């Protein structure tokens, strides 16, 4: 009797929130979380995290370097709702209050291997000069109550935003059993990510 084929595929992601460019700001930290469809479920690792506070480097790049690790595994029956990572960057204002300095989101790369992504960040804007002054004076800048809205389209068209900064991510992506379920992601299935630090101990 033939063995039953797989009913789910696995998506294994590790890497890091590497660095950021925010020329106007310093002493920033980053939060991340994953947003995914109803057919997806995490099976290992962390869905969210918060980095250390970092200062700008002393070289000409003036980069904010976190090198904050990402490590999570998902299972699913279909690619609809492919995971996105949502980033929120925070730092102090002139009064010492933590305020948001940028939101951004990007899909986890679809093909196995090592990937680098630079995400443009943005912040919500007050709708009037009075509101802008009041929020600055009170230390209550406009921000989303749930950062996951960044990965969704509903209601975003009525939000006024301003571009501000970039965050660089490194992904090592491994898939398992996608080809057996009829999905072609490019190279043969279960591709180990290339580079100096590939995932270890993953199922073949």
Residue 3 forms part of a structural domain? no
Helix segments in the chain, DSSP class H? 129-138
pTM of the predicted structure, to 2 decimals: 0.80
Whole-angstrom CA distances from 110 to 21, 26, 93, 104, 115 are 26, 33, 38, 18, 10
Neighbours of 123 (CB within 10 A): 19
Residue 175 forms part of a structural domain? yes
User: Count of domains in the chain?
Assistant: 1
140: Cβ–Cβ under 8 A, 6 or more apart, which residues?
Answer: 97
Residue whose C-alpha is closest to residue 56's, from 17, 92, 95, 25: 25
Residue 1 forms part of a structural domain? no
Residue 172 forms part of a structural domain? yes
Paired residues of 69 in beta bridges? 16
Residue 189 forms part of a structural domain? no
Residue 204 forms part of a structural domain? no
Query: Would you state the pLDDT for residue 155?
Result: 53
Please report, for the domain that includes residue 148, its CATH number. 2.60.40.150
Residue 203 forms part of a structural domain? no
Range of the domain at 158: 9-181
Instruction: Per residue of the chain (204 residues), give pLDDT as tens.
Output: 455 677 899 999 999 999 999 998 999 999 999 999 999 999 999 999 999 999 998 888 889 999 999 999 999 999 999 999 999 999 998 878 888 999 999 999 999 999 999 999 998 875 655 555 555 555 556 677 677 888 776 655 556 778 899 999 999 999 999 988 888 876 544 444 444 444 444 444
């Amino acid at each position: 009797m033939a063995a039953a084929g797989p009913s789910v595929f696995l998506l294994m992601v590790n890497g890091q929130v590497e660095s950021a460019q925010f020329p106007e700001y310093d002493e920033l930290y980053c939060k991340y979380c994953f947003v995914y469809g109803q057919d997806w479920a995490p099976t290992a690792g962390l869905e969210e995290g918060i980095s250390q506070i970092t200062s700008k480097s002393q070289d000409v790049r003036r980069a904010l370097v976190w090198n904050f690790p990402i490590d999570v595994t998902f299972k699913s029956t279909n690619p609809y709702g492919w995971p996105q990572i949502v980033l929120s960057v925070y730092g102090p204002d002139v009064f010492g209050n933590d305020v948001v300095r940028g939101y951004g989101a990007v899909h986890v790369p679809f093909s196995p291997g090592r990937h680098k992504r630079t995400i443009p960040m943005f912040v919500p804007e007050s709708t009037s000069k009075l509101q802008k002054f009041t929020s600055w004076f009170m230390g209550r800048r406009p921000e989303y109550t749930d950062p996951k809205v960044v990965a969704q389209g509903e209601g975003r068209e009525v939000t006024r935003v301003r571009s501000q900064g970039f965050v660089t991510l490194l992904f090592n992506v491994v898939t398992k059993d996608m080809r057996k379920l009829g999905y072609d992601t490019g190279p043969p299935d279960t591709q180990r990510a290339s580079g100096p630090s590939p995932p270890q101990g993953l199922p073949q």
